[in-house]
Amino acid sequence: MTKIRVGIAGYGNLGKGVEMAIAQNPDMELVGVFTRRQPQDVKTIRPETKAYHIDDAAKMTNDIDVMILCGGSATDLPKQGPEFVKLFHTIDSFDTHAKIPEYFEHMDQTAKAAGKVGIISVGWDPGLFSLNRMYAGAVLPNGKDYTFWGKGISQGHSDAIRRIEGVQDAKQYTIPIEKAVEEVRSGSNPELTTREKHLRECFVVAKPGADTAKIEQEIKTMPNYFSDYDTVVHFISQEELNERHSGMPHGGFVIRSGKTGANQETKQIIEYNLKLESNPEFTGSVLVAYARAAYRMSQEGVTGAKTVLDVPPAYLSAKSGAELRKELL
């Protein structure tokens, strides 16, 4: 079997997740990770993984089929996506919601001109959650979608707390509020405010001598991040933070609550639920499955930008159509 040759561009938590996921897929081969650091300074999770400088990727177009882009959506991907899709099929997790249409157009034109496939906005939200909103909405046109996130660490909110004066370190958990979840699951289609859906719980390490009351006040009133939520702040030691809050769990659920029947009074509930001990390892696993799909679509002559909504599910699997029909239907 010819293996699908994969590269990883960007080697943070997500890149590491992708590295580990590729090792679970025998039809794939990791050619190397590409980093802006000095390659010799990069310690990879698997000793056999090779590290290259990101500028060397352009010389390796004959060695790599699919490049999985593991940079951030704010500054890395808008630049790297179009650059890399000129050279390789690409997968990325672009998640700046408002800019997806514009990014899609840019990637689509570039990928088509280069004869490549670029699957954008892959992961779980956007990604698997989007797919579930798509399927559930098509099946139950008369209905309402609810998305809850957590319990899990929000990197963005943790970073926002760390920028406050007097804060040494912090982790923020987004927590769905059980009462709201139960209401939605009952099919009552409630109207829920931001505050009613999620709680924000913060574990903060204050610098010695810092004014904790002031820090707590600044967190709770921070616009966009916290002011619309009920927020709980705990001050703890760096040791406790390291020991008890160093994981990267996440998850959440998408619920569509719809009605069918002649009088639109039959309740039908579809729920998709993720409980993840490691967000980057899971997201990496999703990216890898879509790397296979990009490769298989390219083999059939497909080019351009795609999203999870465009990819036939069977392309994600290494198994044949006949095997899948026998085992999964």
Give me the residues that bind a copy of itself (CB under 8 A), please.
Answer: 17, 20-21, 24-25, 45-46, 97, 100-101, 104, 121, 126, 128, 130-135, 137-142, 185, 187, 260-262, 266-278, 281-282, 284-286, 289, 292, 307-314, 316-317, 321-322, 324-326, 328-329
Q: How far is the CB of 152 from a copy of itself (least distance, A)?
A: 12
Please report how many Cα atoms fall inside a 13 Å half-sphere around the Cα of residue 275, on the Cβ side.
0
Q: Give the burial string for 154-169 (b: 16+ CB within 10 Å, else e).
A: bbebbebbeebeebeb
The two tokens of residue 226 are: 């916290």
d(Cα 118, Cα 81) in Å, to the nearest integer? Answer: 8
Q: How far is the CB of 139 from a copy of itself (least distance, A)?
A: 5
Going by C-alpha positions, the residue among 310, 302, 289 that lies closest to residue 104 is 310
Q: How far is the CB of 328 from a copy of itself (least distance, A)?
A: 5
Q: How far is the CB of 83 from a copy of itself (least distance, A)?
A: 22
Whichever of 89 and 292 has its CB closer to a copy of itself, that residue is 292
Q: How far is the CB of 147 from a copy of itself (least distance, A)?
A: 11
- Cα end-to-end distance, the chain, whole Å: 26
Q: How far is the CB of 17 from a copy of itself (least distance, A)?
A: 7
d(Cα 263, Cα 243) in Å, to the nearest integer? Answer: 55
Please report how many Cα atoms fall inside a 13 Å half-sphere around the Cα of residue 147, on the Cβ side.
13
Whichever of 35 and 132 has its CB closer to a copy of itself, that residue is 132
Whichever of 220 and 259 has its CB closer to a copy of itself, that residue is 259
Whichever of 31 and 289 has its CB closer to a copy of itself, that residue is 289
Whichever of 20 and 215 has its CB closer to a copy of itself, that residue is 20
Residues 125, 130, 133, CA angle at the centre, nearest 5°? 130
Local structure of residue 222 (DSSP, 8 states): -
Whichever of 120 and 161 has its CB closer to a copy of itself, that residue is 120
Local structure of residue 99 (DSSP, 8 states): G
Whichever of 107 and 202 has its CB closer to a copy of itself, that residue is 107
Whichever of 74 and 328 has its CB closer to a copy of itself, that residue is 328
Q: How far is the CB of 298 from a copy of itself (least distance, A)?
A: 16
DSSP 237-281: -HHHHHHHS-SB-EEEEEEEEEEETTTT-EEEEEEEEEEESBHHH
Single-letter residue type at 216 = E
Q: How far is the CB of 24 from a copy of itself (least distance, A)?
A: 5
Instruction: Give 57-64's long-range contacts (Cβ < 8 A, gap of 24+).
Output: 57/7, 57/9, 57/84, 57/87, 57/88, 58/87, 60/7, 60/31, 61/87, 61/88, 63/5, 63/31, 64/5, 64/6, 64/7, 64/31, 64/88
